[in-house]
Amino acid sequence: MEWLNYHHLLYFWVVAREGSIVKATEVLNLTQPTISAQIQSLEESLGEKLFDRVGRRLVLTEAGRTTYRYAEEIFGLGRELRDTLKGRPTGRPARFRVGVADVVPKLIAYRILRPAFELAEPPEIVLREDHPQNLLAQLAVHELDLVIADAPIAAGLKVRAFHHLLGESGVSFFATPKLAATLRKGFPRSLEGAPVLLPAVATELRRGLDLWLDRLDLRPRVVAEFDDSALMKVFGYAGIGAFPASTVIEKEICEQYGLKVIGRIEEIRERYYAISSERKLTHPAVVAITEGARSNVFAEA
């Protein structure tokens, strides 16, 4: 069995935190050669280089940043253990790590997650945004407690996790007041040849829109496609074209960007899921998020 040398990890952590071996010598009361040798031993045991030297500075490598995150957790828990056993308040809320799929609109992610911030004893929430498959891989190794996504777990994906439907929404089209005035009448036929902004092809929303447009034999003029829904809204605000978004955030979009609703499409349904390693949800933050989404965010939809 391979064991991690926590003394070596401690020296690495202090150097990374202080920014140099010179400063770390003052904290650890050790010589530079000793610290350098211990870090080299840690790198050899992990099989990864943890620092790059840039001029006179030490810069963490990608493996170094990952190691530092774990070291922060490990030594933070050690401090908390000492404080708990000595009857001192830890002053540290529990950590709750959430991954948000990069295709989930940020306004919807905020509304879904808001109940976790409103708990009587809210956790320290760590948010990460990434591709859904990357987030599920992190969930599988317990680097995340929850993933918010726009699709359930794909069949055949070898991840022990469970998806829980939070709710669904229809889709609305938005535009500047000037453009909306020309497109509102006769919607959705008014989209024929009209300038539109669309989400990227790989998204659930885009697949639904393409099928809907084909069914109605509509051919809008696609001006641009976006991976980031927030960026799409900015371009819509600039009057570049009309764009789709979830009906449940109509009010926020109109108020934030000064836009108008052209029309609504109930046939297209956007669904959002909480994905966790729990079949039965028990974590207070996860329970608050799922109950809040179903009773508030998506209740009318």
Residue stretches of the chain with pLDDT short of 70:
1-2, 83-93, 156-157, 300-301
Q: Of 213, 224, 220, which is closest to residue 190 (Cα–Cα)?
A: 220
CA distances from 54 to 57, 59, 151 (A): 5, 7, 43
Dist. CA 141–CA 283, nearest whole Å: 18
pLDDT score for 1: 53
pLDDT score for 58: 85
pLDDT score for 76: 79
Domain ranges of the chain: 6-85, 95-167+272-297, 169-271
pLDDT score for 3: 79
Q: Of 299, 288, 275, which is closest to residue 167 (Cα–Cα)?
A: 299
Please tell me whether the overall predicted TM-score, pTM, comes out greater than 0.85 for this model: no
**Which CATH topology does 6-85 take?**
Arc Repressor Mutant, subunit A (1.10.10)
Residues with Cβ within 8 Å of 144's Cβ and at least 6 positions away in sequence, in order, are: 97, 98, 99, 128, 135, 138
Q: Is CATH 3.40.190.10 the classification given to domain 95-167+272-297?
A: yes
Written as six digits, the tokens of 222 are 């696609």
* Coil, helix or strand at residue 103: coil
Q: Alpha helices of the chain — where are they, by DSSP H?
A: 6-18, 21-28, 32-46, 62-85, 106-117, 132-140, 177-183, 204-216, 229-237, 250-257, 284-292
pLDDT score for 31: 92
pLDDT score for 232: 96
Per-residue pLDDT reduced to its tens digit, 46-94: 999 999 888 777 889 999 989 998 898 888 778 777 766 666 555 556 7
Sheet of 162-175, strand order: 124-130, 95-101, 146-149, 260-276, 162-175, 243-246
Domains 95-167+272-297 and 169-271 share a fold: yes
pLDDT score for 199: 94
Its CATH architecture, for the domain 169-271, is 3-Layer(aba) Sandwich (3.40)
φ, ψ at 56 (rounded to 5°): -95, 0
Dist. CA 66–CA 128, nearest whole Å: 14
